[in-house]
């Protein structure tokens, strides 16, 4: 996998500035500024633009004009995503709940809760992934977010503080073999653990077809589900308009028990990739993956 090219706004200083402005400016000028910053980002961030457009080409096919159009829209939408993160920093959980126009597939969530063995929520860099954790926490569910450590302490504190304000616990993945213990404990206690799985770091992956090409997906979620009996549930939160979002839970992923561990893992990851594809095809200009996968 290629090196990760972070968006230049993904810095603690810019998050603090955005939070400051979001508390003082009306929404319209904020989104106008976000669109301009998105256009500037696309212009100056060549490695990120090339990585994004490589991914979009896998979705849009051999159509340079369509790829360029989606690329421009994606950079602008990412600006709007950052604006909304800043705006939501000061909202109550009840207020955030009001911005959801609908939640598709809530019956899958209800079924996962009914099983009572915890839920492994899988999402990607699609839409506003932080909102998903807030939605589940608002529903009264014990919610944990599994993440890699941030590069800078100030950005780490901003993001963890944001989640903490909604009662969400952050579990940082490290190199220690004991790093998975809090995750297993949370699931065995019936909690929900959410994680991004479309930008893989480190080992512990298997390649499955994703938009027509072999792509690594982590096996960790499958192992966790096997150890705890937790349900595997892909879920996404996508923008339907400025400040308006739709939750999408496309289905639960069942774990086969054939006795062939490798075949079972491959089957689960293939289904996860298929469900991810379906949502990304609906909202390709909200696939904020700035590195070729």
DSSP state of 179: G
- Provide the pLDDT for residue 162: 76
- Provide the pLDDT for residue 82: 84
Helix boundaries (H) for the chain: 12-22, 27-44, 46-60, 64-88, 93-97, 106-115, 129-138, 153-164, 181-188, 220-228, 261-282
DSSP state of 285: G
- Provide the pLDDT for residue 14: 65
DSSP state of 3: P
16: three-class secondary structure by DSSP: helix
How far is residue 277's CA from residue 271's CA, in Å, rounded to a whole number?
10
Centroid of chain to Cα 264: 24
The band of 2, judged by pLDDT with boundaries at 50, 70 and 90, is very low
Centroid of chain to Cα 214: 21
pLDDT at 27 > cutoff 60: yes
What percentage of residues in the chain have a pLDDT greater than 70? 88
The band of 202, judged by pLDDT with boundaries at 50, 70 and 90, is low
How far is residue 229's CA from residue 18's CA, in Å, rounded to a whole number?
41
Mean local confidence (pLDDT), 145-163: 75
pLDDT at 200 > cutoff 60: yes
Could you tell me the pTM of the whole model? 0.89
Average pLDDT, the chain: 86
pLDDT at 52 > cutoff 60: yes
Mean local confidence (pLDDT), 137-156: 78
CB atoms within 10 A of CB 118: 26
Task: Give pLDDT tens digits for 238-272.
Answer: 999 878 899 999 999 998 888 888 999 999 999 99
pLDDT at 5 > cutoff 50: no
Task: Give pLDDT tens digits for 74-125.
Answer: 999 998 988 888 887 766 666 766 788 899 999 999 999 999 999 999 999 9
Q: Where are the domains of the chain?
A: 12-286
- Provide the pLDDT for residue 1: 37
């Amino acid at each position: 996998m290629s090196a990760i090219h972070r968006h230049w706004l993904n810095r603690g200083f810019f998050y603090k500035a955005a939070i400051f402005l979001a508390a003082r400016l009306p929404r319209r000028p904020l989104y106008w500024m976000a669109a301009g910053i998105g256009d500037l980002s696309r212009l100056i961030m060549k490695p990120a633009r090339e990585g994004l457009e490589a991914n979009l080409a896998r979705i849009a096919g051999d159509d340079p004009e369509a790829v360029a159009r989606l690329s421009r829209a994606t950079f602008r939408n990412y600006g709007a995503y950052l604006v909304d993160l800043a705006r939501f920093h000061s909202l109550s959980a009840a207020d955030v709940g009001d911005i959801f126009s609908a939640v598709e597939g809530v019956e899958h969530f209800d079924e996962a809760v009914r099983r009572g063995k915890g839920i492994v929520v899988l999402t990607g860099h699609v839409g506003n992934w932080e909102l998903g954790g807030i939605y589940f926490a608002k529903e009264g569910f014990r919610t944990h977010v599994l993440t890699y450590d941030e590069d800078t302490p100030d950005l780490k504190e901003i993001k963890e503080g944001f989640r903490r304000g909604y009662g969400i616990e952050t579990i940082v993945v490290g190199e220690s073999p004991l790093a998975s213990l809090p995750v297993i404990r949370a699931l065995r206690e019936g909690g929900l653990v959410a994680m991004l799985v479309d930008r893989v770091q480190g080992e512990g992956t298997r390649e499955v077809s994703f938009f027509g090409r072999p792509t690594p997906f982590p096996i960790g979620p499958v192992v966790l589900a096997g150890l705890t009996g937790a349900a595997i549930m892909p879920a996404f939160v996508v923008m339907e308009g400025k400040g308006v979002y739709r939750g999408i839970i496309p289905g639960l992923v069942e774990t086969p028990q054939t006795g062939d561990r490798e075949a079972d893992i491959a089957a689960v990851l293939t289904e996860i990739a298929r469900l991810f594809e379906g949502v990304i095809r609906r909202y390709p200009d909200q696939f904020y993956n700035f590195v070729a996968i």
